[in-house]
Amino acid sequence: MIFEPTVLAATMPDLTVFQFNIVDNIFSMTVATMGAAALFLFLSRSTVDRVYQPALLVSGIVVSIACYHYFMIRSSWDGAYELLEGNYVGTGAAFNDFYRYADWILTVPLLMVELVAVIRLEKSKARSLLTRLVIAAGLMIALGYPGEVISSPEGWGTRVMWGALSSIPFFYILYVLWVELTASLSSQPPAARKLIEVSRLVLLVTWAVYPIAYALGGTEAALTAKAGGAVDPSGIVALQVGYALADMTAKAGFGVLIYFIARAKSTGQDGASAAGSGAYAGA
C-alpha cells in the first residue's frame, strides 16, 4: 500500500477469505469503472453542443475524484487486513471511512451542478436551486459521518440518530430534484424527455442504496463485529459492497446518462456537436 493506513475509523472484524475478497475486488472494479467513465466523459465533450460541454466536464471530474478515492479506499482496506491461518484478521490499523466521506463532500455538490447544467435551467433559478442543494448535501454528509464511525453495539442508538438526521437533507435533495426534473420536462426537446425521466428514476433507485447500506453496516451485529466481537460481520461487507455499487451507478452510470441527455439535446448548429448524432443511440 502507498500510505500507511490511518486510524480514523473503527477496529476491523475478522473476515473470511471470501468476505475480504468480495470487498477488495469490488473496490478494484470501482476504480476501473470510474477511470473508464472519466475517459469517456472527457473525450466525448466535442460530440455535444458547446452549451452542454460543461456538464460533461463536471461529470468527468466527479468520476475522476471517485477513481482516486476508491484507489485509496482499496489501499486502506488492504492495509487493514492480513491473511492469518486462512482468515483475514486486522493488522491493527483501521479501515479509513473518511476517504468515502471526503469523496462525497467533493462530488455530491458537483453531481448537482452537472444535472442542473444539462437540464439548463434559467440562470437565477439555477443559482437558487444549486445553493439549496449544495447546503443540503453538505448537511447530509456531515450528519452521516459521526454515525458511520461508531464501532460499538452500545452506540447503536446514536448511529440511528445520526442516520435519521442525515436522512432529512437526503430526502429534501431527492424531493427537490424530482420536482425540478419533472417541472423541466415540458421545456425539454422530445428526444431528451424520456432520458430525463430515466435519470429521475436512476437517481431515486441508486440513492436509495446509500441509506440501506448505512443501515446494514449499523445493525447491532455489525457494530458488535466492528468492536471485535465474534459475530457475523456480513453487515460490514454489505455496507462496503453497497456503497461501491451505488457510487458506480450514481456517478459513472449517471454521468453516461448526462452524456446521452446532452447528446439528445444537441442540435449540432453551434459547430461543435457531431454531425452523426445517434452514433450511440443503440447503446
Residue 70: closest CA among 29, 108, 36: 29
Q: Tell me the window of 114-122, 178-186, 191-199, 200-208 that interacts with its own copies (CB under 8 A).
A: 114-122
Is 151 among the residues that bind its own copies (CB under 8 A)?
no
- Footprint on residues 81-110 left by its own copies (CB under 8 A): 82-83, 92-93, 96, 98-99, 102-103, 105-106
Is 183 among the residues that bind its own copies (CB under 8 A)?
no
Is 272 among the residues that bind its own copies (CB under 8 A)?
yes
The number of C-alpha atoms within 13 Å of 146 and in the hemisphere containing its C-beta is 13
CB-neighbour burial class of residue 17 (10 A; exposed 0-12, middle 13-18, buried 19+): exposed
Provide the β-strand partners of residue 16: 87
Is 191 among the residues that bind its own copies (CB under 8 A)?
no
Q: Per the structure block, which three cell numbers stand in for 74?
A: 482499496
- Footprint on residues 121-150 left by its own copies (CB under 8 A): 121, 123-127, 129-130
Residue 147: closest CA among 157, 132, 137: 157
Residue with cell 465533450: 45
- The secondary structure of 251-280, three-state, reads HHHHHHHHHHHHHHHCCCCCCCCCCCCCCC
Q: Per the structure block, which three cell numbers stand in for 95?
A: 479501515
Q: Tell me the window of 74-82, 174-182, 195-203, 227-235 that interacts with its own copies (CB under 8 A).
A: 74-82
Is 17 among the residues that bind its own copies (CB under 8 A)?
yes
Provide the β-strand partners of residue 117: none
Q: Tell me the window of 56-64, 138-146, 185-193, 236-244 that interacts with its own copies (CB under 8 A).
A: 56-64
- Nearest CB to its own copies, comparing residues 52 and 254: 52
| CB of residue 62 to its own copies, shortest distance in Å | 9
Asked if 271 contacts 52 with a C-beta cutoff of 8 angstroms, the reply is no
- Footprint on residues 154-173 left by its own copies (CB under 8 A): none
- Footprint on residues 22-41 left by its own copies (CB under 8 A): 24-25, 28-29, 31-33, 35-36, 39-40
Angle value at C-alpha 177, between 130 and 200, nearest 5 degrees: 135
- Footprint on residues 209-228 left by its own copies (CB under 8 A): none
- Footprint on residues 232-271 left by its own copies (CB under 8 A): 270
Number of residues in contact with its own copies under rule CB under 8 A: 81
Is 69 among the residues that bind its own copies (CB under 8 A)?
yes
